[in-house]
């Protein structure tokens, strides 16, 4: 459903340019960052990154730092299934892929069209 700009007062709904901007920080976060900069303090993630890139530290320790800072600097990878293209598959791999697709379709029919079943 496409969002459309509404006119008129008091009608609610989506408006062009309205709302909080993506990535904007709340007042409390901005206050903490400002105080830290004024006191010449280093933010925790910046400190971990600086130490992680220090060649004088042992490699194992730097690896541990990288693991600690990773959730704050990189997106999590989602689990995806990687399949070869059909023309790159052997005859046996094609038969297995077709059989798996047939089993999935059968599960869909037996589950009333909602496979995989929701747990919660």
Angle at CA of residue 117, ends 114 and 120, nearest 5°: 125
The confidence band for 3, taking pLDDT boundaries of 50, 70 and 90, is low
Please write the tens of the pLDDT for every residue from 7-40: 555 666 778 888 888 877 788 888 887 887 788 7
Positive or negative, the CA dihedral 106, 109, 110, 112 is: positive
Average pLDDT of the chain to the nearest whole number: 80
Q: Is the pLDDT of residue 85 over 90?
A: no
Contact 14, 3 (CB under 8 A): yes
């Amino acid at each position: 459903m496409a969002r459309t700009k509404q006119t008129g007062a008091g009608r609610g709904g989506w408006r062009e340019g309205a709302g909080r901007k993506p990535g904007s920080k709340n007042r409390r976060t901005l206050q903490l960052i400002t105080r830290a900069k004024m006191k010449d303090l280093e933010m925790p993630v910046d400190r971990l990154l600086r130490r992680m890139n220090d060649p004088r530290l042992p490699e194992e320790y730097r690896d541990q730092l990288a693991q600690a800072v990773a959730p704050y600097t990189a997106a999590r990878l989602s689990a995806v299934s990687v399949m070869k293209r059909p023309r790159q598959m052997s005859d046996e791999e094609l038969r297995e892929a077709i059989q798996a697709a047939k089993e999935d379709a059968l599960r869909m029919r037996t589950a009333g069209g909602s496979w995989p079943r929701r747990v919660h």
